[in-house]
Structure 1
Amino acid sequence: MSGLPLDALSPELRRKWAAARVWAAHRMPYLANALLTMDPVVVPDTELTDDGAALRRFPADTGWHIHLSPAELERQSVPQIGFWALHQLAHLLREHAAQVPAAVTHGPDADEPPVRTPEQQVWNLAADAELHGDLSTAGLEAPADVAAPAALGLPGGELARRYWTLLQDRTELPDPAMAAGDCGNGCDGRPRPWNCDWPPLSRTSAQLTALEAARRVREHQRTRDDVPGGWRRWADEILEPRVNWRRQLAAQIRRTIADTTGRVDFTYRRPSRRAGSVPGVVLPSLRQPAPVIAMLIDTSGSMNDDMLGQCLAEVDAVLRAVGIGRRQVTVISVDARVYRAQNPRTIADLTLGGGGGTDIRAGIEAATVLRPPPDLIVALTDGHTLWPDAPPPRTRVVVGLLDPAGRVPDWATTVVISEPGSEEVR
């Protein structure tokens, strides 16, 4: 299905949709930017056999499109539409489509008319049960057919995979109306008849959106202390190190930061505060420099979306580690050539370029001519590239290797990033 742009709606329905998004952003302001990232797609009711009832929940897909039925926009109130927008956004941020058990993926072939299987229904119930507490404790009133753990006879506060396991022991589905609720492709990854052929949001952009939302959750928690527990846990998982290799990479970065901030030198740019004790003599003050870090991101064609997502997570970790010194962090995209050097304050400020061949030597050369010169160069790459014969002068180099089969120079400290839970430093 091709889908129609928002302009296909009447002015009244466009205003209603806009009001629903404002209502949702006011209830959960830390998700406001992510909410605006979802691209609305109008699905004409005449193209659906049930006059749009299948879109009662305004389902989203993994490309971050949210599907709007004119009939449902007309029927539902602004708060109801706003609730479903947040509900579908939560499915996308929690990546429920990527967590589906194997039993759910064994549905009809993509060429056949998509028909929901009982396994899909159970997974939808399990995913909804995970989200229920986080949306209800935020002051949102969920519709009666949204699966609440209590209505399913299950404990609260569990994750979707745990609810799936518990529901597998049931001999029959719960309330048919509850089981019939369909949150679409964004919940289980299976095709739907209303899915559009519009370009999806890229994996990298989706990860950037999630990182920014997680940061806003933490900021809101510090100032307001009213963020539901499930969103706090989700933000911690996004922002904190999750696998062991990151400890090693972080340790190498901290070592350089400590070495640099431990240096002191005399400078006459700012007179010493003790100059008054020696009239007529200009005394120098002590200067403690902030670390200068250059991060090279391999953006060649051999780097897949998951690898680029790991690179972005590391850049975000470094920006948070150096704090107010983040203006000293320079990020350079490099494939066979170097792209514009950037000094992002947050990961959302970063733009990646590339997609061609690989020559990390160009990135290292560009880093060494920065002013001031970097104390540390962090190269995040799969290693399928050429390297300089000798290390850059007076600069430590750490390689985050995303493919164990890649090649790295002997003169660099290398952290091998193989798979979650494993690590090797060489």
Structure 2
Amino acid sequence: MTSPDLREKWSAARVRAAHQAPYLATALLSLDPVMVTGTSGELRRFPTDPGWHVYVGIEELARQSVQEVAFWLVHQVTHLLRAHARRYPGGVLEPQREEQHTWNLATDAEINDDLPPDLPPEPATPARLGLPDGWTAEQYWHALRENQPYPPIAPGDCGSGCDGLPRAWDHDLPPAISPTTARLTALDTARRIRERLNAQDDVPAGWRRWADQLLEPSVNWRHHLSAKVRHGLTQAAGRVDYTYRRPSRRAAALPGVVLPSLRQALPSVTVLIDTSGSITETMLARALAEVTGVLGAVGIGRRLLTVITCDARAYRPQTLTRISDLHLDGGGGTDLRAGFAAALATRPPPDLIVAITDGRTPWPHHPPRTRVIVALLDPAGRAPEWAETVRVGGAS
């Protein structure tokens, strides 16, 4: 049991956190404290788990100031609201400590890019990592992995609430709130952010972006994806060329002159499929079936449809008679740049590329000349600005 002084300190820190970020008040009050002894140092960040428990080290609560504890409460509830545990891109069967540390840095950078300068010395910020503000955790993750070694940052652990992987201090407790309640809490927080913005302009940009993404009106992704693919095919099919295989109808007006006729070729399509370990087969099957259904409806036969699977590398192109013939190579890391390179290396290059992915990948720095549609399977994923994006959901 904690002393009355420490309980009062805990309550004061939670009130201070809610005062600093009033739009997070409901989420902060949803945290269920679990008091832990004998783990001095390991719990200095007051880590959480996906069940919305916050692990309060008695020694750390006594050592840190109310302001420091309040900072960590805001920090940890942000990990939970932004679903960082579900978004973790590293290995889960044989997790590597380095992967966990890199993801913790990446998520911290996403959280801390717009906080005031008087931070505790430990948290990572994009500036301290030599990276731009405003990126997603997935972007910071890939940048940190590609730009080793990154600047030294004091090691810290935000717990399984950051990556979903169990910790030694985690207790086998029922969730403090159900997944449905957690989702409703996130929606309530997003609405509070919108209300706060209507009253005064003091909400950080990162929270504004998050609320906009969460509250964007839901659409029937199947209709949206079909419309995008059809539009892309129409644009590609609008291109015409001259051919001498068939004489022009105007040739009779000019005896002795061979005039070419106009030829409108069917567009070729490459479907680029992300087969990294983070992709679920259910959503992949839904999106692929929708794309191939649209292509079949507009007359794109198997001769003009190429499928390339890609994880960290691109696999051999496949032409399919049936979807059941598709062989999904891959299952490792993710780098769709290899897939784009393979698609554009074909001669002639495709008129349309449809990329089906969760968005947890680096993208080509420069837009290809070919039209690109991204079917984004994960709402937390990212697609490049130069692509047309359809967010593929589980409903409708």
Q: TM-score range by the shorter chain?
A: 0.5 to 0.7
Q: Paired residue for 2:220, among 244, 248, 257?
A: 244
Q: Which residue of 1 aligns with 2:169?
A: 194
Q: Which residue of 1 aligns with 2:92?
A: 105
Q: Which residue of 1 aligns with 2:19?
A: 26
Q: Which residue of 1 aligns with 2:120?
A: 143
Q: Which residue of 2 aligns with 1:229?
A: 205
Q: Paired residue for 2:181, among 189, 205, 221?
A: 205
Q: Paired residue for 1:181, among 145, 149, 156?
A: 156
Q: Paired residue for 1:35, among 28, 38, 42?
A: 28
Is 1:122 aligned with 2:102?
Answer: yes
Q: Which residue of 2 aligns with 1:160?
A: 137
- The question of whether the paired residues in 1 share the 8 Å contact of 2:31 and 2:52 is answered with yes
Q: Give TM-score scaled by structure 2 length.
A: 0.55
* SS in structure 2 at match of 1:55: coil
Is 1:131 aligned with 2:106?
Answer: no
Relative to structure 1, the CA distance from residue 423 to residue 43 in structure 2 (aligned partners, 3 Å threshold; closer, same or farther) is closer
Is 1:77 aligned with 2:65?
Answer: yes
Question: Which AA in structure 1 matches 2:56?
Answer: L
Computed over aligned residues only, the root mean square deviation of the Cα atoms, in angstroms, reads: 2.2
Q: Which residue of 2 aligns with 1:421?
A: 392
* Rounded Cα–Cα distance in structure 2 between residues aligned with 1:422 and 1:42: 38
Deviation of 1:422 (Å):
7.0
Q: Paired residue for 1:11, among 4, 9, 18?
A: 4
Q: 1:212-267: CA deviations, max 9, x gaps?
A: 1111010011001111111111111111125534989xxxxxxxxxxxxxxxxxxx
* Rounded Cα–Cα distance in structure 1 between residues aligned with 2:75 and 2:222: 32
- The question of whether the paired residues in 2 share the 8 Å contact of 1:244 and 1:420 is answered with no
* Rounded Cα–Cα distance in structure 1 between residues aligned with 2:44 and 2:161: 15
* Rounded Cα–Cα distance in structure 1 between residues aligned with 2:106 and 2:395: 37
Relative to structure 1, the CA distance from residue 207 to residue 98 in structure 2 (aligned partners, 3 Å threshold; closer, same or farther) is same
* Rounded Cα–Cα distance in structure 2 between residues aligned with 1:235 and 1:242: 14
- The question of whether the paired residues in 1 share the 8 Å contact of 2:129 and 2:150 is answered with no
Deviation of 1:105 (Å):
2.3
Q: 1:30-49: CA deviations, max 9, x gaps?
A: 1111100010000112xx3x
Relative to structure 1, the CA distance from residue 243 to residue 22 in structure 2 (aligned partners, 3 Å threshold; closer, same or farther) is same
* Rounded Cα–Cα distance in structure 2 between residues aligned with 1:54 and 1:162: 27
Q: Give TM-score scaled by structure 1 length.
A: 0.51
Deviation of 1:135 (Å):
3.0
Q: 1:112-133: CA deviations, max 9, x gaps?
A: xxxx610100000000000002
- The question of whether the paired residues in 1 share the 8 Å contact of 2:124 and 2:153 is answered with no
* Rounded Cα–Cα distance in structure 1 between residues aligned with 2:46 and 2:211: 25
Relative to structure 1, the CA distance from residue 422 to residue 28 in structure 2 (aligned partners, 3 Å threshold; closer, same or farther) is closer
Q: Which residue of 2 aligns with 1:254?
A: none
Relative to structure 1, the CA distance from residue 423 to residue 142 in structure 2 (aligned partners, 3 Å threshold; closer, same or farther) is closer
* SS in structure 1 at match of 2:54: strand
Q: Summarize the alignment of residues 201-350 of structure 1 with structure 2, pairs less than 5 Å apart.
A: 201-245=177-221
Q: Summarize the alignment of residues 62-73 of structure 1 with structure 2, pairs less than 5 Å apart.
A: 62-73=50-61
Q: Which residue of 2 aligns with 1:277?
A: none
Relative to structure 1, the CA distance from residue 13 to residue 247 in structure 2 (aligned partners, 3 Å threshold; closer, same or farther) is farther
**Count of aligned residue pairs for this structure pair:** 230
Q: 1:9-41: CA deviations, max 9, x gaps?
A: 110000000000111111100111110001000
- The question of whether the paired residues in 2 share the 8 Å contact of 1:43 and 1:68 is answered with yes
Unaligned ranges ≥5, structure 2: 225-389
* Rounded Cα–Cα distance in structure 1 between residues aligned with 2:50 and 2:7: 23
* SS in structure 2 at match of 1:208: helix
Q: Which runs of 4+ in 1 moved over 3 A?
A: 242-248, 422-425
* Rounded Cα–Cα distance in structure 2 between residues aligned with 1:25 and 1:424: 34
Q: 1:120-162: CA deviations, max 9, x gaps?
A: 00000000000002333xxx73211211111111111101000
Unaligned ranges ≥5, structure 1: 1-7, 109-115, 249-418
Tell which deviates more after alignment, 207-216 or 236-245: 236-245
